[in-house]
Structure 1
Amino acid sequence: MAGKKKKDTKTQHPMMIIAGILVVLVLGVLGIQVPSELQDFLGLDTTPVEQSLPSSNSNQNNASENPGPEELGQASFSDSEMKNSSKGWITYHKLDSLGRATGADALLTPDMVNTGTSANQSIRPPGFISGKEPYDHSRGHLIGRQLGGTGDDSRNLTTLYQTPVNAPYMTKYENQIRKAMDNGETIRYRVTPIYEGSDLLCQSIEMEAKGLSKNSDIDFYVRIINEK
């Protein structure tokens, strides 16, 4: 009968193990790789541990919950509201009892492009809180600066979330109007913030625009929810 095969493993003397561990510690301090023979002798597992990297989707919870512009069809101006005049004009509606802007109407002509002003930093529309984070509020023009709207009249400013409400959502439609004005068109325009009860920030903002030219591409009625 064949004898039992002897195991290849060797039993290490305790003192040798302790000495080996001390050598490993010293080499680690000096930044020297531990020889493979010593690793085998001490039974060390030096397989690199994979580090879990942050997921590229880790910021998904911070993504905007705003559903985006809701297009409601064509502008609702009456025939009398579409009446042309020799000059452009802007009418700002009066503030309500809480000091909130309530709307603005305009007849925008090509000569009004870029005649508006930036929002006056001394004006704080109801509900406005300074600082990009965490509020990201803006003094939102009803009639945009590039369309001739003033930033020095509180009747033309309401508190909006800068992103994505003021930009890019409102800017998208303002740019369409601006392009038509650059091409010589006259545009009837209305912007109305919609409030819920006594909330200082509007729940949404509605934009209506219609070109006076029969061939105009401008004819929209859109609602934008005022939330991040």
Structure 2
Amino acid sequence: MKKSFNIFIVFLALFTLAGCSSSQTESASKTKIVKNYSYQKKAAKLNKQNDELKSDIKDLQNKITKDQDYLAENDQGTFSNNSSDTAKTNLANLDYTGTQEIIVNNNQPEFSDQDKSTSQGAWQTYGDLDNLNRATAANALLNSSLMPTAKRTGLTWNPTGWHNKKISSGWLYNRSHLIGYQLTGQNNNPKNLMTGTRSLNSPEMQAHEMDIAYYLKQSSSHFVRYRVTPIFRGDELLARGVQMEAQSIGDNSIQFNVYIFNVQSGVTLNYNDGTSQVG
């Protein structure tokens, strides 16, 4: 009888363990089902977001294509001669506060792909003088082929605002080339000359010109898109400053967009006519 009882206890234990195992298995299965359902919901949500992003990307691509088609249809084959009038007005309204050179547009020059094309080789062009006889803008695609071999001769053209005089450091003004002589060989060209203080001309403008000249001399295949724009406030005859933009083609060895104030330490300038007062 005792032996039969013991056998019964063993069978009961095995049955209980089997039941527990089945219960645990069932519980684990339910957990996996819940997790799987959660994963499916997350996947569906991500897929929906992905579809929405694809739709947004497609809309943006369509807008880009439309804009490119519009630009292509309205392109007359000319480069942009100047920065925008709004940008020039903003620069003209700036007052010098102690820093002669400031960065414009995060130092990014505002040239289009058309502006930077090298298909026509190196070139240079100069805007006509305005109704007040002031220089406007000088543009070029610079290359070593434009650089002069002859020594520069003296200048005779007097640009607007030319009321020069000696100060303690030398002459107050220079006949400042928009595009430096060493880059294109343009010299006594009224369209390429403005009245600039000594500090504007050198070291400020000259420092950038030297960087460009060095880059161009490294290889005959080097090109730099370049634009220099004198900035006038209203009908003043003396420029408030000059904007210089440059971009080397194919790399960023030369890349800048700066505005340099036309000022001279220790001298008060009358921008209406270029006269000045020391002290």
TM class by smaller structure: 0.5 to 0.7
Structure 2: stretches of 5+ with no match in the other structure: 1-95, 265-279
Rg bigger for which structure? 2
- Match of 1:53? none
- Match of 2:65? none
For the residues of structure 2 that align with 1:91 and 1:147, how far apart are their CA atoms? 13
SS of the aligned residue for 1:171 comes to helix
Q: What TM-score, normalized to structure 1?
A: 0.66
- Match of 1:69? 101
2:231 pairs with one of 163, 179, 194: 194
Q: Larger % of helix: which?
A: 2
Distance 1:149 1:132, change over 3 A: farther
What's the RMSD between the two structures over aligned residues?
2.1
Deviations 1:70-119 (A, max 9, x none): 12211110111011135311100000011110010001011222358747
Equivalenced residues, count: 163
- Match of 2:178? 142
Alignment of 1:112-131 (within 5 A): 112-115=146-149, 118=152, 120-131=154-165
Distance 1:188 1:226, change over 3 A: same
* 2:129 maps to 1:95: yes
- Match of 1:51? none
Note if contact 2:100-2:263 (Cα within 8 Å) is conserved in structure 1. Answer: no
Q: What TM-score, normalized to structure 2?
A: 0.55
For the residues of structure 2 that align with 1:131 and 1:181, how far apart are their CA atoms? 35
Deviation at 1:152, TM superposition (A): 1.7
- Match of 1:218? 254
Distance 1:116 1:136, change over 3 A: farther
Identity of aligned residues (%): 34
Deviations 1:112-170 (A, max 9, x none): 223587475321001112333376111000010110141221000000001x1100000
Distance 1:200 1:209, change over 3 A: same
